[in-house]
């Protein structure tokens, strides 16, 4: 084998000019392939690690309530964070609360639609996260710490581009109009304390305020939270598994209110339970399971429907049409909560339904339930919860509805459409990782890589036609030499190996040169600043420069692919040369 290697190197050095031209063409192709792949990886890195992560984290737990629109709110922050922390594991390096709103911003004579996002400046970040923040949101005026200032009215930081558009500078006031969590249109004032450089077009419309200030403006109470976003050490390895564990732990329990029911001077303890009245199958289940002694079933199962047991109705002197008041102790509020409802029907109790129970349509129940969240753990000891074998168990509501895990962006959209179609009144919780909920980004990277690979392969096949022609000319010129080495005893397979080795070494050297040229080109291109303004092409930039992200696996894969193509291409001319007989080769003359 050593002898064959020596001959291969000698033959490469004998034909310097021809091999130099062919090797240069191959090196150029490798350079283009490495550049293109590094650029597509860079775009993916920008989309994932500089946009998606800031919007939703590596893993996101997204609560939501209806009221005609999706509202990201969970009414028991302490409980949700405890579940998430317990099941996230040691791979989590940061857990953040995500709250943001769309609003209309009014500057000095100019207006613009913007997004206001809350950030917790009191948290401690590691050096890697701080570096990433600085790359994406580089502060050119002001200080992030001013967002926590109590002396300034709602301090805010916005991008240089939007500050120019709104005609505002530091210490100016921006007036805003937005909707709070109750659906009410509100107005407010923000004080510009910082201006940042943000090259990414998609993030230039984002303004940042202290999380506490934003939650206060929106109407969140101290025990309520928005989305929970997790940042992981190794998201590619752990994100999906962490999301699966959290999802499995968020199974909801039954929803109920343990209340005191009063009518006039009469009062009695009761358990109020919701039934899912927007689903026809579940309404039928309720109709088949309850026997009314007073009132009509159609009224009882309507959106204002309230079913009361006959035992409770007798104790309170209630009949259909009577109004009763419910009073209960909330989990977090100091004062007792109360609400009124009109009884629509009275049912005969049994072992499944309970005798001190009220069944209420979900449209009536859930707004009261979430507005003053009861302490379910404490009240469960006194409440009546229908057994698992109750024939109507499937029609009863739970604390929240756990949305099925979405494995792609399309699945997530489908889940949201399904929730809207079914008019779900209970809160919903979705759990997803960025590799699933942002799967379209992965598709984009795949398409970019496919386009790059196709274009470069076309280029390489053109180059490899040159390889074939070069080998054919080389074989033709060295036919007598082939005859000589065959005559002195060299085997056909060794002749074939010589030509294949020559092609392999030429391709390897050209590939290494191409990789070096690619890194030089990336270094030069990364130094060129691009001022794209509001142009969407800004998504390709980091700090006004092109972002390349070469990977060892990608480069080695490119070289391996090119080597395989070159060797396969060289095999057939090499086999033809090896099959020449010694006598025929020695008689060849040019």
Which tens digits make up the pLDDT trace of 494-527? 666 777 777 788 888 889 999 999 999 999 988 8
83-87, 118-122, 388-392: which range is least confident on average?
Answer: 118-122
Of 377, 398, 419, the domain-final residue: 398
Same domain, 139 and 195: yes
Q: Are 272 and 257 in contact (CB under 8 A)?
A: yes
Residue 585 pLDDT greater than 60, yes or no = no
Q: Is residue 233 part of a domain?
A: no
The region of weakest confidence among 218-227, 294-303, 422-431, 539-548 is: 539-548
Q: Both tokens of residue 372?
A: 């003053």
Residue 379 and residue 462 share a domain = no
Residue 541 backbone dihedrals phi, psi, to 5 degrees: -110, 155
pLDDT of the residue at 482: 57
Q: Are residue 472 and residue 553 in the same domain, yes or no?
A: yes
> Which residue carries 């996002």 as its tokens?
117
* pLDDT of 536 higher than 60: no
Residue 110: predicted pLDDT: 92
Assess whether pLDDT exceeds 50 at residue 574.
yes
The answer, yes or no, to whether residue 158 has pLDDT greater than 50, is: yes
Question: 11-15, 205-209, 459-463, 539-543: lowest mean pLDDT where?
Answer: 11-15
Query: Do residues 377 and 516 share a domain?
Result: no
Full domain range(s) for residue 499: 2-51+439-587
Q: Are residues 337 and 473 in the same domain?
A: no
pLDDT tens across 217-259, in order? Answer: 999 999 999 999 898 888 878 888 999 999 999 999 999 999 9
Closest CA to 176 of 190, 162, 164: 190
pLDDT recorded at residue 261: 97
| Lowest-confidence segment of 1-5, 381-385, 402-406 by average pLDDT | 1-5
User: Does 206 score more than 90 pLDDT?
Assistant: no
Q: Tell whether 424 is covered by a domain.
A: no
Number of structural domains found in the chain:
3
Residue 261 lies inside a defined structural domain of this protein: yes
pLDDT at 168 (0 to 100): 95
Q: Are residues 446 and 583 in the same domain?
A: yes
Residue length of the chain? 590
371 to each of 74, 152, 173, 211, 273, how far by Cα in Å? Answer: 11, 31, 33, 22, 16
| Residues 490 and 570 placed together within one structural domain of the fold | yes
- Confidence at residue 588, expressed as pLDDT on a 0 to 100 scale: 46
Q: Integer distance in angstroms from the first to the last C-alpha of the chain?
A: 31
Q: Are residues 215 and 261 in the same domain?
A: no
pLDDT at 253: 94
Give the model's confidence band at 534: pLDDT under 50 very low, under 70 low, under 90 confident, else very high.
low
State whether 195 and 307 are in the same domain: no
Q: Is the pLDDT of residue 291 over 90?
A: yes
d(CA 14, CA 506): 13
Across 446-450, average pLDDT = 71
User: Do 446 and 571 reside in the same domain of the chain?
Assistant: yes
- How far apart (Å, rounded) are the C-alpha atoms in residues 364 and 155? 39
Q: Tell me if 471 sits within 8 A of 573, measured CB to CB.
A: yes
Within-domain flag for 229: no
Average pLDDT over the chain, rounded to an integer? 83
DSSP state of 377: H
Asked whether the beta carbons of 392 and 290 are under 8 A apart, the reply is: yes
CATH code of the domain containing 105: 2.40.70
* DSSP string computed for 77-115: HHHHHHHHHHHH-TTEEEEEEE-EEEEEEE-SS-EEEEE
Residue pLDDT, tens place only, 17-31: 777 777 787 888 888
**Residue 155 belongs to some domain of the structure:** yes
Q: Which of 80-84, 198-202, 487-491 has the highest mean pLDDT?
A: 80-84
Sign of the torsion formed by the C-alpha atoms of 47, 53, 59 and 64? negative
**37 and 156 together in one domain:** no
List strand residue ranges (DSSP E) for 276-350, in order: 292-294, 306-309, 323-328, 337-342, 345-347
pLDDT for residue 68: 46
478/186: higher pLDDT: 186
The two three-digit tokens of residue 56, written as one number:
């939703």
> Mean pLDDT highest for which of 27-36, 73-82, 449-458, 468-477?
73-82
| Residue whose C-alpha is closest to residue 353's, from 404, 393, 401 | 393
DSSP H or E segment with residue 6? helix 2-14
Distance CA(226)–CA(548), nearest Å, equals 35
Are 374 and 263 within one domain? yes
Lowest model confidence (mean pLDDT) among 328-332, 356-360, 449-453, 535-539: 535-539
- By the 8 A CB rule, do 192 and 153 touch? no
**Helices 492-527 and 16-47 meet at what angle, rounded to 10?**
50
In a domain, 476, yes or no: yes
């Amino acid at each position: 084998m050593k002898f064959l290697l020596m001959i291969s190197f000698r033959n490469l050095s004998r034909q310097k000019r021809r091999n130099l031209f062919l090797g240069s063409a191959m090196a150029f192709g490798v350079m283009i392939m490495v550049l293109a792949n590094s650029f597509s990886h860079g775009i993916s890195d920008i989309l994932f690690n500089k946009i998606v992560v800031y919007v939703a984290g590596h893993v996101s737990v997204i609560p939501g309530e209806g009221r005609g629109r999706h509202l990201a709110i969970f009414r028991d922050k302490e409980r949700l964070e405890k579940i998430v922390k317990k099941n996230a594991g040691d791979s989590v390096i940061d857990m953040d609360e995500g709250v943001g709103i769309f609003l209309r911003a009014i500057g000095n004579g100019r207006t613009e639609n913007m997004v206001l996002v809350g950030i917790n400046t009191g948290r401690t970040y590691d050096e890697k996260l701080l570096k990433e923040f600085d790359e994406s949101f580089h502060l050119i005026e002001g200080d992030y710490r001013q967002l926590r200032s109590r002396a300034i009215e709602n301090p805010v930081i916005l991008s240089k581009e939007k500050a120019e558009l709104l005609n505002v500078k530091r210490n100016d006031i921006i007036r805003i109009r937005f909707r709070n969590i109750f659906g009410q249109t509100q107005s407010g004032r923000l004080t510009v304390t910082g201006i940042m450089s943000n090259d990414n077009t998609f993030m230039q419309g984002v303004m940042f305020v202290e999380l506490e200030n934003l939650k206060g403006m929106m109407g969140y109470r101290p025990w309520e939270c928005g989305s929970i976003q997790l940042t992981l050490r190794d998201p590619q390895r752990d994100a999906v598994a962490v999301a699966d564990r959290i999802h499995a732990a968020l199974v909801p329990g039954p929803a109920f209110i343990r209340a005191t029911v009063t009518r006039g001077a009469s009062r009695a303890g009761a358990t109020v339970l919701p039934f899912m009245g927007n689903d026809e199958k579940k309404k039928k289940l309720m109709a088949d399971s309850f026997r009314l002694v007073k009132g009509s079933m159609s009224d009882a199962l309507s959106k204002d429907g309230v079913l009361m047991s006959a035992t409770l109705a007798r104790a309170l002197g209630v009949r259909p049409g009577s109004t009763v008041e419910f009073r209960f102790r909330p989990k977090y509020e100091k004062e007792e909560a109360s609400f009124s409802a009109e009884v629509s029907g009275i049912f005969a109790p049994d072992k499944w339904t309970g005798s001190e129970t009220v069944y209420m349509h979900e449209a009536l129940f859930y707004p009261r339930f979430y507005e003053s969240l009861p302490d379910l753990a404490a009240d469960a000891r006194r409440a009546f919860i229908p057994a698992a074998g109750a024939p109507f168990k499937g029609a009863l509501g739970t604390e929240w509805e756990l949305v099925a895990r979405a494995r792609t962006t399309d699945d997530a959209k489908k889940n949201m459409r399904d929730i809207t179609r079914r008019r779900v009144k209970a809160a919903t919780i979705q759990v997803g990782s960025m590799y699933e909920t942002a799967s379209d980004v992965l598709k984009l990277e795949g398409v970019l890589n496919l386009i790059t690979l196709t274009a470069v392969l076309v280029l390489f096949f053109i180059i490899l036609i040159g390889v074939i022609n070069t080998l054919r000319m080389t074989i033709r010129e060295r036919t007598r030499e082939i005859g000589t080495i065959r005559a002195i005893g060299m085997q056909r397979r060794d002749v074939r190996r010589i030509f294949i080795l020559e092609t392999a070494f030429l391709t390897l050297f050209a590939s290494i040169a191409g990789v070096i040229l690619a890194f030089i080109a990336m270094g030069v291109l990364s130094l060129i600043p691009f001022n794209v303004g509001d142009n969407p092409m800004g998504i390709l930039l980091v700090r006004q420069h092109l972002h390349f992200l070469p990977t060892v696996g990608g480069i080695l894969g490119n070289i391996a692919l090119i080597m395989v193509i070159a060797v396969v291409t060289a095999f057939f001319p090499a086999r033809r040369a090896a099959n020449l007989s010694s006598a025929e080769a020695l008689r060849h003359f040019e």
